């Protein structure tokens, strides 16, 4: 085709189009850059700059107030100083002062000095050249005359330099002299300027810092703004992403574990900002205003600007969880690399908050991020990744309860025995991966096998229900039917869940088959019950129910059990079952009595693993009368026992029974074999080896099977299948199920369960149509709650929290999330079978029972279960307690397991009140107190600062008074509730040493607390039964209003038990308790604990109190100590014929200790039963008591136990038994201490004390010098 000069398109149009498209592309590029740069975190950082600027402005004002009393006063003071400086300068600058002339002279002198400085530097340079020329000449080997010339030139230059330096020194001295004269004239001005500078220093520093954040000059403002522009912000922008790199705290992305990068602090800029004393710089608080100035004024900051709570525990370098090591997402989860609200994967705490977030941030649940942040209600779940023991999250001596909700969930799981059906295996081989809640080996053989396997760790949890192995001797088949059908119908407080008559058992088929299942369970348990030899009282003994009532109240039963009777008025306990209707439960007549009598006397006879202790209810003589406490208590509990079983038993529907037999057999064999079994009335001939439940259908003997026998065989078969199907053996010891495994889903990693595997079925329809206990729709309830929340019409905050919690879980369930599924599973476990029973077989229906859980119980359990992820971080992050802390953790678990706190206080009540410091007086030693003992007391009980630093306003005698708050620990001595409230006063006995504003207050001091100044009395940790028993003994018991005597009869507080007893003795005592106190109305029972548990519990008390363990060296038994004691004895008491230890032994056996104690081979005998108290025997003190504790006890027993009746045996200033230690009370006390600690040796060496010793001692008169 020939060439042409014509264009295909119009060039002018093309130029226009190109120009327009370039402009559009340029605008789009700018738009893209602006949109890309418009991150929400930049605005957050800008607002945070305003907050910091406002805080600095506030700090400026505070600095001015500190300096001058007020900001206006500061400004006036600055102006005044400036005025004074100006006036002084004007005065000084006049000719009369001579300052102008001095300044001119100073200028001339300085000019001369400067000229000499320049000349000296020049001549030094010339001299250095001369020196270099001479050195080069030597190097080059110049002739001698040439070298002499060069040296002469150098020496001449050196002389000139030295002359000039002398002149310079004189000129410098002249300048300094003139400067001193000027300074002397300007001294007052300099002082004023120094004062001004000092006054402004802090304010100037704050102003500079504020100006950097919020400049006032437009140039600085423009510069700061330009530095935030795109591209330019890459060069030291004031706003930037904050990133924490955590290379060891890996996170799982897909199939790989990668380093963790947290950018949370990009928005949460104040999260790690704390001042001195770990005080948050930006404390969290809800503020209605959006103005940062208001936040600063109120010192309350909303998220994301607030500091993290508990800096003692989190983020700070001194805390256990420093930010540099743990970051943020290691605990909170979420997408740490995200820098927007949505990408960070926050989780709302309720639907209302979700709506607010959606409106403000465009929030939606990101299904593509596997680890969304925990909502506020579940944030404690993350603790379980590292804290596998769990105990330290709820009981921590240093930090207190740090995760109380997850700890409570753990306790509830243990209490209700969830692990019986759902294994929670905390180990992968021997590697800990989470909390371990597994059943202990069922048999001794299993236990030995587990311990022998180095790759496994056996479980430690006991089944929570009672053993049913001997149930036929305890109760009737009719009661078992009644109880199994509805446990709460017999005992409303029971923890046993309900298996029958639940939501998936309301159809006709279930109503026909269910009674047969219940009857079959009862028959199986009765027929397979094993007999045990029952005990009985002595023949002819007539139990006394009235005496039994007192014994039931006094012997500790009410520390674990409740009982509806006047005897138990004022106390309830739920560690054991409520015994109010036990008379209806047990077999009538002698059979039930003997079972209860045997249970009280020897619980392990019925159940080797029972937690019921042996209360030592052995028959004894009381005032010459034979008394059998167990028989009397049994008679009291069974005093209303009916003559026959009060629960009717209906006949079994055999057609329904056959239907169940066919159903279960059909799963194990062919249909033909099923029909053959039903026709022949046997599954196999006797003697045939049959594995599985079908063994119940094998007749015990050859021959024809009778109707009654066939009925029993079928019932046992259905009973066995039903027990296995419902997992009853998970809580109870049942014959035939010794090797059965848990039937439910394992929970050790349920917190990461794939949500697509949650069988939600028709739950949405169920909640839409039913859902609530009263049959109402859960959906409608949630809609009402959301409507109230939007209009803020809830009647109370409690109602709001309750209803929005339901709304949260409902929303979670509708969105197929784990929390919602778990909530509904615990709330109505069979509801997931809604409209599924029509298409399921009867034996395929859901089996989980309904537990008596409240809403907060469900949330606590959910918090615990959601934390089970079986994915611990690197070993360095997993909590590995020290040995001392490990003993505290395990000991705390055992205290709960055996309910030690049911009787004993492990921590005394704490009184908080406003104190008038003028009413607090330092405790002075009494005349009878030895000053040396005070030093030992202060080591045993160091003074604790009593003032909290807080102040409150109280009304005292009609006037408002601000008083400091003080705390102390002690026991109530007296309070009269009938007194006029204006004059009511509490009286407490102090148990600790206090430092109250520099005043030392010693134990046993009476603390008087006006009721008007009382803030609170924090209850003791345990000891509820002891407190109740004290009041009872005072009102109607032998104490008769004497509180001290009542406490001596009650279980003692275990306050500072660690420094008191030797660990080895406590271990032996826990394994086999011996009688120590004879004043108590009950004995320490023997618990069914293992050697390892006893050892751990003994270690616990020493560990919690900071005492040495597990071994204690008694210094007073060492040869070096005894030799030194002998020398001291000879020096202080010359002429004594016997050794120190013999003197000490005779002092111990003098007629003093024997008045109350058994000692020296002699038994206690009361000379006046009304006055004398049978105190503990002294033959075990050497093994039981630590020497440091014994020191203080012997000098002043009430410093240790304020309610004791024991006096100080050898008061200061009183001479007793003067031949012994020449009557020196101090030496006698030490001698008794050493004799007690060397008791066995002295008994072997000197034998029991001879009566002559006591007779000789009593001849000496007690004198008071």
What's the Cα-to-Cα distance from 966 to each of 8, 475, 911, 1001, rounded to whole Å? 98, 56, 8, 13
The mean per-residue pLDDT over the stretch 622-634 comes to 94
Q: Residue 915: which pLDDT band, with cuts at 50, 70 and 90?
A: very high
Q: Is residue 691 scored above 90 in pLDDT?
A: no
- What span, in angstroms and rounded, lies between the C-alpha atoms of 657 and 516? 6
pLDDT in tens, 1118-1133: 999 999 999 999 999 9
Write down the pLDDT at residue 448.
85
348's CB contacts (< 8 A; 6+ apart) are: 354, 357, 363, 375
Q: Is residue 422 scored above 90 in pLDDT?
A: yes
pLDDT in tens, 923-969: 999 999 999 999 999 999 999 999 999 999 999 888 999 999 999 99
- Residue that has been written with the tokens 């102006």 in this structure: 79
CB atoms under 10 Å from CB of 924, counted, come to 9
- Nearest in space to 861 (alpha carbons), one of 799, 809, 897: 809
CB atoms under 10 Å from CB of 313, counted, come to 17
Domain boundaries, the chain: 72-207, 244-373, 532-647, 649-728, 909-1019, 1113-1258
Q: Residue 67: which pLDDT band, with cuts at 50, 70 and 90?
A: confident
- What span, in angstroms and rounded, lies between the C-alpha atoms of 654 and 681? 14
- What span, in angstroms and rounded, lies between the C-alpha atoms of 1129 and 1120? 14
User: Tokens for 726?
Assistant: 């419902």
Question: Percentage of residues in the chain with pLDDT exceeding 70?
Answer: 98
Average pLDDT value for the chain: 92
- Nearest in space to 946 (alpha carbons), one of 919, 911, 986, 918: 911
The number of helices, as runs of H, and strands, as runs of E, in the chain is 43, 19
3-state SS, residue 1018: strand
Write down the pLDDT at residue 182.
78
Q: Which helix (H) or strand (E) holds 962?
A: strand 959-974
- What span, in angstroms and rounded, lies between the C-alpha atoms of 1189 and 1062? 10
pLDDT in tens, 1241-1264: 999 998 887 654 444 544 443 332
| Cα-trace Rg, the chain | 43
- What span, in angstroms and rounded, lies between the C-alpha atoms of 457 and 438? 10
- Cross-strand bridge partners of residue 966: 913, 947
Q: Beta 944-945 vs 994-996: how paired, if at all?
A: parallel
pLDDT in tens, 551-582: 999 999 999 999 999 999 999 999 999 999 99
DSSP assignment of 603-667 equals: GGGT-TT-S--B-----EEETTEEE-HHHHHHHHHTTT--SS-SS--PPP-HHHHHHHHHHHHHT
In this chain, the answer to whether the domains covering 532-647 and 1113-1258 adopt an identical fold is yes
Chosen CATH of 72-207 out of 2.60.120.460, 3.40.710.10, 1.10.287.1490, 1.20.1440.230: 1.10.287.1490
DSSP 850: B
- What span, in angstroms and rounded, lies between the C-alpha atoms of 61 and 67? 10
Write down the pLDDT at residue 1040.
85
- Nearest in space to 1259 (alpha carbons), one of 1212, 1218, 1231: 1218
Locate the DSSP E strands across 486-544.
none
- What span, in angstroms and rounded, lies between the C-alpha atoms of 917 and 995? 12
- What span, in angstroms and rounded, lies between the C-alpha atoms of 441 and 823? 31
- What span, in angstroms and rounded, lies between the C-alpha atoms of 603 and 611? 9
Q: Is residue 230 scored above 60 in pLDDT?
A: yes
- Nearest in space to 423 (alpha carbons), one of 725, 737, 747: 747
Alpha carbon 30 to chain centroid, angstroms: 56
Question: Domain 532-647, what architecture?
Answer: Orthogonal Bundle (1.10)
Angle between helix 671-680 and helix 654-666 axes, rounded to 10 deg:
140
- What span, in angstroms and rounded, lies between the C-alpha atoms of 81 and 139? 68
* CATH tag, 1113-1258: 1.10.760
Judge contact between 460 and 475, C-beta under 8 A: no
Write down the pLDDT at residue 1261.
36
- 659 phi/psi in degrees, rounded to 5: -60, -40
User: Tokens for 631?
Assistant: 């028989």
- Cross-strand bridge partners of residue 944: 994
- What span, in angstroms and rounded, lies between the C-alpha atoms of 802 and 810? 13
Q: For residue 304, is the peptide bond before it cis, meaning its omega torsion is within 30 degrees of 0?
A: yes
3-state SS, residue 1110: coil
């Amino acid at each position: 085709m020939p060439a042409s000069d014509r264009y295909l398109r119009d060039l002018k149009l093309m130029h226009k189009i190109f120009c327009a498209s370039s402009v559009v592309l340029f605008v789009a590029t700018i738009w893209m850059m602006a949109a890309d740069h418009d991150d929400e975190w930049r605005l957050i950082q800008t607002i945070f700059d305003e907050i910091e600027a406002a805080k600095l402005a506030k700090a400026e004002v505070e600095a001015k107030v500190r300096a001058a009393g007020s900001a206006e006063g500061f400004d006036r003071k600055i102006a005044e100083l400036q005025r004074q400086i100006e006036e002084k300068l004007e005065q000084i600058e006049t000719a009369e002062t001579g300052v102008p002339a001095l300044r001119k002279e100073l200028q001339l002198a300085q000019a001369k000095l400067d000229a000499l400085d320049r000349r000296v530097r020049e001549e030094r340079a010339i001299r250095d050249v001369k020196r270099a020329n001479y050195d080069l000449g030597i190097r080059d080997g110049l002739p001698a005359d040439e070298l002499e010339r060069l040296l002469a030139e150098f020496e001449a230059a050196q002389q000139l330099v030295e002359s000039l330096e002398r002149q310079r020194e004189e000129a410098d001295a002249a300048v300094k002299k003139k400067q001193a004269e000027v300074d002397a004239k300007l001294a007052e001005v300099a002082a004023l300027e120094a004062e001004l500078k000092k006054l402004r220093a802090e304010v100037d520093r704050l102003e500079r810092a504020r100006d950097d954040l919020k400049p006032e000059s437009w140039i600085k403002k423009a510069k700061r703004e330009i530095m935030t522009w795109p591209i330019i912000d890459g060069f030291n922008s004031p706003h930037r992403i904050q990133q924490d790199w955590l290379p060891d705290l890996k996170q799982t992305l897909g199939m790989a574990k990668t380093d963790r990068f947290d950018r949370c602090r990009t928005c949460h800029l104040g999260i790690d900002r704390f001042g001195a004393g770990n005080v948050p710089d930006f404390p969290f608080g809800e503020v209605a205003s959006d103005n940062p100035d208001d936040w600063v004024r109120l010192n309350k900051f909303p998220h994301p600007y607030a500091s993290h709570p508990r800096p003692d525990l989190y983020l700070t370098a001194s805390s256990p969880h420093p930010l540099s090591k743990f970051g943020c997402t290691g605990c909170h989860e979420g997408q740490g690399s995200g820098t927007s609200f949505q990408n960070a994967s926050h989780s709302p705490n309720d639907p209302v908050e979700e709506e607010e977030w959606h409106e403000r941030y465009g929030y939606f649940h990101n299904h593509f991020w596997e680890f969304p942040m925990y909502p506020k209600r579940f944030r404690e779940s993350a603790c379980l990744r590292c804290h596998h023991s769990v105990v330290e999250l709820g009981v921590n001596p240093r930090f207190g309860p740090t995760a109380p909700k997850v700890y409570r969930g753990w306790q509830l799981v243990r209490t209700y025995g969830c692990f019986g059906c759902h294994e929670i295996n905390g180990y992968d081989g021997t590697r800990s991966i989470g909390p371990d809640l597994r059943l202990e080996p069922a048999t001794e053989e299993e236990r030995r096998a587990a311990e022998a396997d180095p790759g496994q760790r056996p479980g430690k949890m006991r089944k929570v229900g009672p053993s049913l192995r001997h149930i036929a001797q305890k109760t009737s088949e009719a009661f078992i039917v009644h109880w199994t059908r509805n446990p709460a119908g017999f005992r409303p407080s029971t923890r046993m869940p309900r298996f029958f008559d639940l939501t998936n058992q309301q159809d006709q088929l279930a109503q026909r088959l269910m009674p047969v299942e219940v009857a079959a369970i009862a028959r199986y348990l009765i027929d397979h019950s094993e007999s045990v030899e029952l005990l009985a009282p002595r023949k002819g003994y007539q139990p006394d129910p009235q005496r039994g009532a007192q014994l039931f109240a006094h012997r500790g039963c009410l520390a674990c059990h409740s009982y509806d009777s006047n005897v138990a008025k004022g106390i309830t306990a739920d560690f054991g079952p409520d015994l109010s209707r036990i008379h209806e439960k047990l077999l009538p007549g002698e059979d039930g009595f003997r079972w209860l009598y045997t249970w009280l006397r020897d619980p392990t006879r019925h159940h080797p693993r029972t937690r019921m202790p042996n209360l030592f209810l052995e028959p004894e003589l009381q005032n010459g009368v034979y008394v059998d406490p167990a028989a009397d208590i049994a008679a009291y509990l069974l005093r209303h026992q009916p003559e026959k079983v009060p629960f009717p038993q209906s006949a079994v529907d055999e057609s329904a029974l056959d239907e169940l037999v066919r159903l279960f057999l059909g799963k194990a064999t062919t249909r033909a074999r099923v029909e053959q079994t039903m026709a022949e009335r046997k599954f196999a001939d006797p003697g045939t080896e049959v594995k599985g439940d079908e063994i119940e259908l094998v007749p015990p003997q050859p021959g024809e099977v009778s109707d009654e026998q066939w009925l029993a065989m079928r019932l046992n078969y259905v009973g066995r299948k039903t027990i296995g199907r419902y997992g009853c053996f998970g809580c109870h010891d049942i014959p035939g199920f010794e090797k059965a495994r848990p039937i439910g889903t394992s929970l050790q990693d349920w917190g990461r369960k794939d949500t697509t595997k949650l069988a939600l079925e028709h739950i949405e329809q169920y909640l839409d149509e039913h859902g609530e206990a009263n049959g109402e729709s859960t959906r409608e309830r949630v809609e009402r709650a959301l409507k109230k929340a939007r209009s803020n019409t809830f009647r109370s905050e409690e109602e709001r929290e309750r209803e929005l919690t339901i709304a949260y879980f409902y929303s979670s369930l509708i969105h197929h999330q784990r929390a919602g599924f778990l909530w509904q599973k615990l709330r109505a476990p069979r509801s997931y079978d809604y409209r599924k029973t029509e298409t399921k077989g009867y034996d395929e229906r859901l089996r989980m029972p309904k537990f008596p859980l409240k809403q907060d119980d469900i949330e606590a359990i959910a918090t615990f279960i959601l934390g089970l992820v079986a994915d611990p971080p690197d070993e360095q992050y997993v909590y590995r307690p020290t040995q001392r802390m490990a003993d505290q953790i395990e000991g705390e678990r055992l205290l709960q397991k055996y309910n030690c706190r049911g009787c004993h206080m492990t921590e005394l009540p704490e009184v908080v009140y406003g104190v008038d410091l003028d009413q607090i007086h330092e405790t002075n030693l009494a005349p009878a107190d030895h000053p040396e003992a005070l030093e030992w007391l202060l080591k045993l009980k160091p003074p604790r600062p009593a003032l909290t630093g807080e102040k409150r306003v109280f009304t005292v005698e009609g006037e408002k008074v601000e008083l400091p708050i003080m705390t102390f620990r002690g026991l109530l001595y007296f309070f009269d509730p009938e007194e006029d409230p204006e004059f009511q006063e509490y009286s407490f006995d102090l148990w600790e040493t206090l430092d109250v504003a520099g005043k030392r207050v010693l134990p046993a001091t009476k603390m008087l607390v006006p009721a008007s100044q009382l803030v609170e009395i924090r209850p003791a940790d345990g000891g509820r039964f002891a407190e109740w028993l004290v009041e009872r003994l005072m009102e109607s018991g032998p104490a008769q209003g004497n509180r001290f005597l009542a406490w001596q009869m009650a279980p003692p507080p275990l306050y500072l038990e660690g420094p008191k007893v030797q660990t080895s003795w406590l271990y032996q005592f826990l394994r086999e308790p011996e009688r120590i106190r004879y004043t108590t109305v009950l004995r320490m029972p023997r618990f069914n604990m293992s050697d390892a548990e006893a050892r751990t519990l003994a270690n616990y008390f020493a560990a919690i109190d900071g005492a040495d363990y597990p071994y204690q060296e008694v210094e007073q038994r060492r040869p070096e100590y005894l030799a030194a004691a002998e020398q001291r004895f000879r020096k202080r008491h010359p002429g004594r014929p016997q050794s120190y230890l013999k003197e000490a032994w005779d002092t111990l056996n003098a007629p003093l200790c024997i008045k109350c104690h058994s000692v020296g081979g002699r038994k206690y005998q009361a000379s006046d039963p009304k006055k004398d108290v049978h105190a503990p025997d002294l033959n075990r003190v050497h093994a039981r008591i630590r020497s440091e504790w014994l020191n203080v006890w012997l000098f002043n027993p009430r410093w240790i136990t304020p309610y004791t009746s024991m006096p100080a045996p050898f008061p200061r200033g009183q001479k007793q038994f003067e031949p012994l230690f020449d009557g020196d009370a101090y030496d006698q006390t030490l001698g008794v201490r050493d004799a007690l600690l060397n008791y066995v040796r002295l008994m072997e060496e000197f034998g029991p004390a001879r009566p002559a010793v006591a007779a000789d001692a009593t001849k000496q008169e007690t004198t008071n010098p």
